Amino acid sequence: MSIAEMEPVIGLRSKTGKRIGDDRIRLLEAVDLLGSISGAARAVGLTYKAAWDAIAALNNLAEHPLVVARTGGRVGGGAVLTEDGRRLLASMHWLQAELQRLSAASAARLDQQNLAGRDGFAPVLSWRFVMKTSARNMLRCKVVEVKRGPVSAEVILSVTDGIRLVAIITGESVASLGLEPGKEVFALIKSTFVLLAPEGQTGRTSARNVVPGTVARHVEGAVNSEIVLAIGGGKTIAAIITKESAETLGFKVGDRACALIKASHIILAVE
């Protein structure tokens, strides 16, 4: 395959290093066109859960939500892109057109200089691998304060205007990550580490973080249930609990609840 026969694909990478690929851009385009997550999922060949999770991840990574729920109207509700979401799409479309133009010009130049190689790839080009994480929750945060101790340190994070998290990491990790007030970080939290309780009924707990929210989604499985809380600012936290616990708690969409997270269960990552 020659370079001229290849189609360039562009992805965006935030200044904190997280990539937004072409697959998620196509999902946003479908939401903008169809006005619902379910319709967009069918259009791009995803399950509803996969599409919902992808949009929740995008909203968690963005400074402001890219997609918000829309209630009422002729179709009885759905989803709509925010101004930030539309600006992102417009930027991607412009960049894609520019990339296509540059790619065509570059392919011609490479052929002229005989640099394309036997398989159409310039030998100096290489693929870049994108890191993925098993942590279900990845929240974009800003460091508010770092309280250093002899061995460990407390890092206070702002997730939204009204939500803060406290993470405990080693002093060595604080230094290696370069953590200081104002620095942007990602808080990684496995969904199995998130405990749930009805709002106002958390009682006495060893969990340092008690995050209030509204049940946005409840997916029942054969053994476990996934419950997603909307915590404001377009951000969500997902918890995996046993089916028995879910039945005992009896959470329904719209109920108020709290996510309980130990400070030691939060992993911090930077670019």
Residue type, 134: S
What whole-number percentage of the chain has pLDDT above 90? 39
Which of 132, 162, 193 is the C-terminal boundary of a domain? 132
pLDDT tier for residue 142 given thresholds of 50, 70 and 90? very high
Residue 92 structural domain: 1-132
Same domain, 84 and 188: no
Task: Name the residue with higher pLDDT: 96 or 261.
Answer: 261
Domain count, the chain: 2
Q: Are residues 6 and 105 in the same domain?
A: yes
Rounded to 5°, the CA angle 69-132-197 comes to 50
Give the chain's mean pLDDT. Answer: 80
Exposure b/e, 95-113, CB count within 10 A at least 16 = b: ebeeeeeeeeeebeebeee
Residue that finishes a domain, picked among 113, 132, 151: 132
**Is residue 186 over pLDDT 70?**
yes
Query: Are residue 74 and residue 177 in the same domain, yes or no?
Result: no
Cα–Cα distance between 7 and 3 in angstroms, integer? 8
The string over 46-59, giving b where at least 16 C-beta atoms fall within 10 Å of a residue's C-beta and e elsewhere, is beeeebbbbbbbbb
- Which of 99, 132, 165 is the last residue before a domain boundary? 132
Pairwise CA distance, residues 38 & 51, whole Å: 8
**Residue 261 to residue 141: CA distance in whole angstroms:** 16
User: What CATH number is given to the structural domain containing 251?
Assistant: 2.40.50.100
Residue 152 β-bridge partners: 170
Instruction: Output the pTM of the full model.
Output: 0.63
Per DSSP bridges, beta strands 184-189 and 267-269 are: antiparallel
**Is residue 216 within 8 Å of residue 229, measured between CB atoms?**
yes
